[in-house]
């Protein structure tokens, strides 16, 4: 037979927790001493072990009470339900995690030239006196002097990844050939 | 982030044959046709407020 203090030590619980389990009818003492102290038999120790285990899965005391008074099949289905709920919580958290990551990765909106389209750039540059050859040379020079800046500029005027790659590849081809 | 500085941009324009006068004309045109776009480009280049004012009132 075990006293309440022994049980508390065994499972790292406080005495008041075990008293509470008694008060809600989850774990009743098997006997009382003549001084009215609670005493527990080994099967109650096993039961408390099970209670602690189920508590670690996040189940409420109310569910635990139902589970341990029921048969195994019912216990399993309660556990499966809990597992399902946990999986859904994980999915929700994962989605929130993705949103946060993409928020942090998003570039500073001030660096986007939202008001200037690619067509407008071409038009303005032509008006400034650049012809097709000049525009091409601009890309080639940009790619040579500052590849990252070129990429950043093309992104900022709203070109797709594919378009950017095409332009940059063509610009690289225009690099002065290596001396032979 | 491959930020482009205003100096790099000017060198770029010079390299393709634009003169100082061409660039001024270009700013005026930009400001005239698309003031918001002009502003966002100057901000993108990282110009301080007073330089932005200057370029917009050429």
> pTM for this one?
0.48
Rounded to an integer, the average pLDDT of A16-20 is: 96
Q: Are the CB atoms for B36 and B29 separated by under 8 Å? A: no
Mutant choice from B2, B19, B26, B43 vs A, greatest count of A C-beta within 10 A: B2
Distances (CA, A) of A30 to A22, A36, A46, A98: 11, 12, 13, 52
Residue A49: per-residue pLDDT: 92
> How large is the angle between the packed helices A118-127 and A132-145, nearest 10 degrees?
110
- Coil, strand or helix at A32: strand
- Where residue A34 falls among pLDDT bands split at 50, 70, 90? very high
Q: What is the mean pLDDT of chain A?
A: 84
- Where residue A176 falls among pLDDT bands split at 50, 70, 90? low
Give the phi and the psi of residue A40 in degrees, each rounded to 5.
-125, 140
Tokens for B3, please give them: 């930020």
Mutant choice from A104, A107, A110, A115 vs B, greatest count of B C-beta within 10 A: A115
Residue A4: per-residue pLDDT: 95
Return the residue of B nearest to A133 by Cα: B16
Which of B1, B11, B26 faces A152 most closely, judged by CB atoms?
B1
Residues of A in contact with B23 (CB under 8 A): 128
User: Which residues, in sequence order, are CB contacts of A58 under 8 Å at separation 6+?
Assistant: A82, A86
Q: Specify whether the backbone of A158 is left (phi greater than 0), alpha (psi in -120 to 50) or beta.
A: left
> Which ipTM was obtained for this model?
0.80
Spatial distance between the Cα atoms of A72 and A82, rounded to a whole number of angstroms: 15
- Where residue A160 falls among pLDDT bands split at 50, 70, 90? confident
pLDDT of A179 strictly over 60: no
- Where residue B1 falls among pLDDT bands split at 50, 70, 90? very low
Instruction: State pLDDT tens for residues B2-57.
Output: 567 888 888 888 888 888 888 888 898 888 888 888 888 888 888 888 888 999 98
Residue A177: per-residue pLDDT: 45
Residue A20: per-residue pLDDT: 96
Which of B13, B22, B37 faces A113 most closely, judged by CB atoms?
B37
Spatial distance between the Cα atoms of A112 and A168, rounded to a whole number of angstroms: 19
Residue A36: per-residue pLDDT: 93
Instruction: State pLDDT tens for residues A72-104.
Output: 777 778 888 888 888 889 888 988 888 777 777
- Where residue A2 falls among pLDDT bands split at 50, 70, 90? very high
- Coil, strand or helix at A99: helix
Residues of A in contact with B16 (CB under 8 A): 130, 134, 137-138, 141
Maximum C-alpha span of chain A: 107
Residues of A in contact with B11 (CB under 8 A): 145
């Amino acid at each position: 037979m075990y006293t309440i203090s022994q049980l508390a030590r065994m499972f790292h619980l406080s005495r008041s927790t075990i008293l509470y389990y008694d008060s809600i009818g989850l774990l009743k003492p098997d006997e009382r001493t003549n001084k009215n102290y609670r005493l527990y038999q080994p099967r109650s120790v096993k039961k408390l072990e099970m209670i602690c285990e189920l508590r670690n899965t996040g189940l409420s005391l109310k569910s635990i009470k139902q589970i341990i008074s029921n048969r195994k099949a019912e216990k399993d289905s309660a556990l499966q339900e809990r597992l399902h709920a946990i999986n859904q919580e994980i999915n929700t958290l994962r989605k929130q995690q993705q949103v946060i990551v993409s928020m942090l990765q998003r570039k500073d909106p001030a660096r986007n030239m939202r008001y200037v389209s690619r067509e407008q750039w071409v038009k303005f540059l032509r008006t400034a006196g650049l012809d097709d050859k000049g525009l091409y040379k601009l890309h080639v020079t940009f790619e040579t002097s500052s590849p990252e800046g070129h990429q950043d500029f093309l992104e900022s005027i709203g070109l797709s990844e594919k378009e950017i790659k095409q332009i940059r590849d063509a610009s690289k081809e225009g690099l002065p050939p290596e001396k032979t | 982030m491959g930020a482009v500085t205003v100096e790099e941009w000017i060198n770029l324009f010079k390299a393709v044959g634009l003169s100082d006068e061409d660039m001024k004309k270009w700013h005026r045109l930009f400001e005239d046709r698309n003031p918001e776009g002009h502003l966002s480009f100057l901000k993108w280049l990282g110009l301080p407020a007073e330089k932005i004012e200057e370029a917009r009132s050429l």
